[in-house]
Amino acid sequence: MDRAAPGATVVLIGLNPDPLPLTTDDVVRRQLTLRGSMIYDHPGDFTTAIAELPQVLPGAVVEAGFPLERAQEAFTGAAERAGKTWIRIGRV
C-alpha cells in the first residue's frame, strides 16, 4: 500500500486474517481506489477486478510461473518478487 501512487487503484487479492495496515484517512487523503478479488476463481476474478483499468498490464503483476517440480524455488523467492507467483500443475 505504501508504494501506491496518489490516485492509484489497488487490487486486494484473496483473504487475509490479519488487519490491513491502512486507514480510511490513508485512502481518502491519497485518493486511492480499492478493488477486491477472490483467489478461488483466479485468474478470472482478477481479470474482472482490473477490467475497468485498461492502463493496467496484468503481466506486470502476475510475474512468475513455475512448473510443479520447481515449487520450492517459487516459494523461496516469492517474497523478493514484486508480482504474483504461481505454480503450474499439469498442462497449464
Digit-coded pLDDT (tens) for 15-36: 777 888 888 998 999 999 988 8
Residue 81, number of CB atoms within 10 A of its CB:
11
pLDDT of res. 6:
92
Beta strands in 1-92 (DSSP E): 9-13, 33-37, 62-67, 84-88
CA distance 14 to 70: 23
- Contacts with 52 (C-beta within 8 Å, 6 or more apart), sequence order: none
Rounded CA separation 84/13 (Å): 10
pTM over 0.95? The answer is: no
Give pLDDT < 70 ranges for the chain. Answer: 38-63, 82-83, 91-92
